[in-house]
Amino acid sequence: MIPASSEVRVGSDGTERLEISARIGLAAAQALGMRGAHVVVSSRRQANVDKAVALLRTHNIQVTGTTCNVGKGEDREKLIQMTLDQCGGIDILVSNAAVNPFFGNILDSTEDVWDKILSVNVKSAFLLTKLVVPHMEKRGGGNIVFVSSVGAYQPMQVSVNVPLCYHICSEMLKKEFLQGLGPYCVSKTALLGLTRVLATELAQSNIRVNCVAPGVIKTRFSSALWENEAIMDNLRSSSASKEHSHPRFSKMIRAVVTGLDMLVTYSTVDGAPTQVMLRSIFRCLSPNLVAGQRRMSQSSLNGKVAIVTASTDGIGLATAQALGMRGAHVVVSSRCQANVDKAVALLRTHNIQVTGTTCNVGKGEDREKLIQMTLDQCGGIDILVSNAAVNPFFGNILDSTEDVWDKILSVNVKSAFLLTKLVVPHMEKRGGGNIVFVSSVGAYQPMQGLGPYCVSKTALLGLTRVLATELAQSNIRVNCVAPGLIKTRFSAILWENEAIMDKFKNQPSIKRIGQVEEIGGVVAFLCSEEASYITGETITASGGMGCRL
**Residue 504 — pLDDT band, cuts 50, 70, 90?**
low
What pLDDT was estimated at residue 33?
Answer: 93
At residue 493, the pLDDT reads: 67
Please give the full DSSP string across 209-222, using - where no structure is assigned: EEEEE--SB-SSTT
- Highest mean pLDDT (candidates 146-160, 207-221, 291-305, 384-398): 384-398
If pLDDT is split at 50, 70 and 90, which confidence band does 393 have?
very high
The predicted pLDDT at position 272 comes to 37
CB burial class (10 A; 0-12, 13-18, 19+) of residue 415? buried
DSSP for 401-428, written as a single string: -HHHHHHHHIIIIIHHHHHHHHHHHHHH
Instruction: Give residue 242's pLDDT.
Output: 43
- Give pLDDT, residue 481: 96
Measure the CA–CA gap between 444 and 522, rounded to whole angstroms.
18
Q: Of 184-188, 213-217, 377-381, which gets the smallest average pLDDT?
A: 213-217
Note the pLDDT of residue 214.
83
pLDDT at 491: 65
Report residue 407: phi and psi, to 5°.
Answer: -65, -50
With 70 as the cut, is the pLDDT of residue 157 above it? no
84 in Cβ contact with 135 (< 8 Å): yes
Partnered with residue 464 across adjacent β-strands are none
pLDDT digits 0-9 by tens, 38-62:
999 999 999 999 999 999 999 999 9
Can you tell me the mean pLDDT for 414-428?
98
pLDDT, tens only, 59-74: 999 999 999 999 999 9
* Residue predicted with more confidence, 170 or 36: 36
Decide if pLDDT at 181 tops 80.
yes
Q: Is 453 a catalytic residue?
A: yes
Q: Which amino acid is at 477?
A: R
Task: Tell me which range, 170-174, 274-278, 304-308, is most confidently predicted by mean pLDDT.
Answer: 304-308
In this structure, what are the phi and psi dihedrals at residue 389, rounded to the nearest 5 degrees?
Answer: -160, 155
Task: State the chain's mean pLDDT as an integer.
Answer: 80
Out of 166, 266, 453, 533, the active site residue is: 453
- For the cut 80, the answer to whether the pLDDT of residue 10 exceeds it is no
The segment with the largest mean pLDDT, out of 79-88, 485-494, 514-523, is 79-88
**What's the confidence (pLDDT) of residue 155?**
76
Q: 444-493, pLDDT tens digit by residue?
A: 988 888 999 999 999 999 999 999 999 999 999 999 999 988 877 766 66
Weakest-pLDDT range from 66-80, 375-389, 408-422, 491-505 = 491-505
How far is residue 230's CA from residue 521's CA, in Å, rounded to a whole number? Answer: 43
pLDDT score at 530: 87
**Domains in the chain, CATH or no CATH each:** 24-226+249-257 (3.40.50.720), 305-541 (3.40.50.720)
pLDDT band at 177 (very low <50, low <70, confident <90, very high): very low
pLDDT 10s digits, 101-137: 998 899 999 999 999 999 999 999 999 999 999 999 9
Measuring CA to CA, how many Å separate 78 from each of 83, 110, 399? 8, 31, 20
Q: Which of 11-25, 177-191, 217-231, 466-480 has the highest mean pLDDT?
A: 466-480
The span from the CA of 265 to the CA of 248, in Å, is 22
Q: Evaluate whether 38 touches 64 at the Cβ level (below 8 Å).
A: yes
Mean pLDDT, rounded, for 322-339: 96
Of the listed ranges 89-98, 270-279, 293-302, the one predicted with least confidence: 270-279
Check residue 547 and give its pLDDT: 63
| pLDDT at residue 247 greater than cutoff 60 | no
Question: Which residue type occupies 400?
Answer: S
Q: What is the pLDDT of residues 211-240, one digit of tens each?
A: 988 876 766 555 555 566 665 565 555 544
Residues 6+ apart with CB under 8 A from 120: 5, 70, 71, 97, 98, 99
**pLDDT-derived band at 99, boundaries 50, 70, 90:** very high
Of 225 and 521, the structure prediction assigns the larger pLDDT to 521
The per-residue pLDDT for 179 is: 55
Alpha-carbon distance of 451 to 130, in angstroms, equals: 13
| Residue 9 confidence (pLDDT) above 70 | no
User: Which letter does DSSP use for residue 484 in this model?
Assistant: -
Confidence at residue 115, expressed as pLDDT on a 0 to 100 scale: 96
Give the model's pLDDT for residue 428: 98
Q: What is the distance between the alpha carbons of residues 319 and 330, in angstroms, rounded to a whole number?
A: 10
**pLDDT value of residue 23:** 75
pLDDT in tens, 292-323: 333 445 558 999 999 999 999 999 999 999 99
